[in-house]
Amino acid sequence: MTPLFDVHRDLGATFTDFAGWRMPLRYTGDLAEHHAVRRAAGLFDLSHMGEIEVTGADAGRFLDHALVGRLSTLAAGRARYTMLCHDNGGVLDDLVVYRLAERRYLVVANAANTAVVFAMLREHADGFGVGVRDASADWALIAVQGPAAAAMLDPGPLRYYAIRDFTVAGRGVLLARTGYTGEDGFEVYCRPGDAVAVWESLLARGPSPAGLACRDTLRLEAGMALYGHELSVRVTPLQAGLERVVAFDKSDFVGAAALRRQRAEGPADVLVGLVTGTRRAPRRGYPVLDPATGAQVGAVTSGALSPTLGHPVAMAYVPVGVSAPGTRLAVDVRGTGADADVVALPFYSPQR
């Protein structure tokens, strides 16, 4: 359970088990919470996420080796989205890395992958002057996401993908301008013992409590990959359309040889967006078909009826030859073939 379990229970949350945590799935309802984030702001408990501290004189150089991005050039107070890959190029986890000080980084991992990320970072640390520590128990994480989030927090001149010291309810916190909804927003890292006071202070500013269910439809509309769906050790960043996060100009890093080979040859299949002509949404695992032959050419990784757009959207892996926007495919939706058009991601992007 997170430090906010009793708060969620008192708010009437419906809970679900997720990666060993008892997490709020919804409060008032998925649609209401989704629209609250798109139109104003939602308040999320993300304390299940993992935090790993990397410290020492070689911290930047070590992370350049262990991860696909270049972290050594990241300025203190900034963040970067990156990945930890296997030697074969497959994604072990996608991460946000914050540089808190010259020799101190905070690596934020998905809840289900925290142990793997910690173990792999420790393994790759041989030969580097660094300390790698699982600091997950030191932090609770609360997010305020939505177009009204900045007005509610008054963060000052904090840039996107930046982090700084801040105060909420008289408690010292780390405030990051990051998120996973496609909207502007902030993530508040606080001590577990301060979580209730921080949550209540933020809630009093007007955001609606929001659960994991609406977080999933929000990130899907924004075309954001979810580990275990769009990302896995069987998928590379290039297949997922995330080649931009790989610093190929680095001399070497874990997975470099496999990723350079795939870059030269081109991936066989890639992630695409699909929009269907039926009210029934494609779901994970539904076959993607060639409409002329009925043969399966791919599979849906995530799908839902988009609350914002009012029609079904899905992401799927398909062969490169049928991945161009405008290509007509089909999806087997419970035995019925539904027309599906390939579209560019994201499905939704707010006016900024």
> What would the mean pLDDT of 291-313 be, rounded to a whole number?
96
Q: Which helix or strand (DSSP H or E) is residue 337 part of?
A: strand 336-343
Q: Which of 132, 158, 178 is a domain's end point?
A: 132
As a whole number, mean pLDDT of residues 242-266 equals 97
Residues 178 and 161 in one domain: yes
Q: Is there a domain that residue 334 lies in?
A: no
Q: What is the mean pLDDT of the chain?
A: 97
pLDDT given for residue 336 in this prediction: 86
Are 72 and 11 found together in one domain? no
- Structural domain of 121: 50-132
CATH assignment at residue 155: 3.30.1360.120
- What tens digit of pLDDT does each residue of 77-126 get? 999 999 999 999 999 999 999 999 999 999 999 999 999 999 999 999 99
Domain boundary among 132, 154, 181: 132
Q: Name the strands in the sheet holding 131-134, side by side, starting at the edge strand that comes first in the sequence.
A: 79-85, 91-101, 104-109, 50-55, 131-134
Regarding whether 212 and 175 lie in a shared domain, the answer is: yes
Handedness of CA 323, 325, 327, 332 (dihedral sign): positive
pLDDT higher than 60, residue 352: no
User: Does the residue 14 lie in any domain?
Assistant: yes
Residue 260 lies in a domain: no
- Give the per-residue pLDDT at 279: 85
10 with 145, same domain: the answer is yes
**Distances from the Cα of 30 to the Cαs of 113, 200, 219, 254, in angstroms?**
26, 21, 13, 40
**Are residues 108 and 85 part of one domain?**
yes
| Nearest in space to 242 (alpha carbons), one of 111, 94, 344 | 94
List the beta bridge partners of residue 316. Answer: 272, 300
Tell me whether the omega of the peptide bond preceding residue 282 falls within 30 degrees of 0, making it cis: no
pLDDT of residue 277: 81
Mean pLDDT of 128-147: 98
pLDDT at 65: 98
Nearest to 335 by CA among 261, 297, 282, 293: 282
Do residue 69 and residue 33 come from a single domain? no
Which tokens in the block code for residue 132? 């790698």
Q: d(Cα 119, Cα 122) in Å, to the nearest integer?
A: 5
With b for 16 or more beta-carbon neighbours within 10 A and e for fewer, the 57-68 pattern comes to ebbbebbbbbbb
Model confidence at 351: pLDDT above 80: no
Rounded to whole angstroms, how far apart are CA atoms 211 and 226?
16
Read off the pLDDT of each residue in 201-221 and give the average, rounded to a whole number.
98
Asked if 94 and 205 sit in the same domain, the reply is no
- Amino acid letter, residue 291: P
**Same domain for 156 and 106:** no
Is 94 among the domain residues? yes
Q: From CA 38, how far away is CA 179, in angstroms rounded? A: 13
**Cβ–Cβ under 8 Å, residues 67 and 109:** no
* Same-domain status, 119 and 183: no
Q: Name the token pair of 196.
A: 């209730």
In total, how many domains does the chain have? 2
Global pTM reads: 0.96
Listed in sequence order, the residues at least 6 apart from 147 whose beta carbon sits closer than 8 Å to its beta carbon are 38, 39, 40, 41, 183, 184, 350
Amino acid at 166: F
Are 40 and 143 in the same domain? Answer: yes
Residue 224 pLDDT > 60: yes
Say which residues have a Cβ less than 8 Å from residue 289's Cβ, sequence separation at least 6.
295, 296, 297, 329, 330, 331, 332, 337
Give a yes or no: residue 277 inside a domain. no
Mean pLDDT of 234-253: 97
Q: Are 13 and 24 members of one domain?
A: yes
- Determine, yes or no, domain membership for 124: yes
Instruction: Single out the residue in 205, 221, 237 at which a domain terminates.
Output: 221
Report the Cα–Cα distance between both ends of the chain, in Å, rounded. 36
Q: How many helices (H) and strands (E) does the chain have?
A: 8, 19
DSSP state of 130: -
Asked whether residue 34 falls in the same domain as residue 105, the answer is no
Share of the chain above pLDDT 70, in %: 99
- Whole-Å CA distances, 264 to 198, 233, 267: 49, 20, 9
Strand-pairing partners, residue 185, are 145
Q: Does residue 185 form part of some domain?
A: yes
CATH classification of the domain holding 84: 3.30.70.1400
How far is the C-alpha of 146 from the C-alpha of 273, rounded, in Å? 23
Residue 309 lies in a domain: no
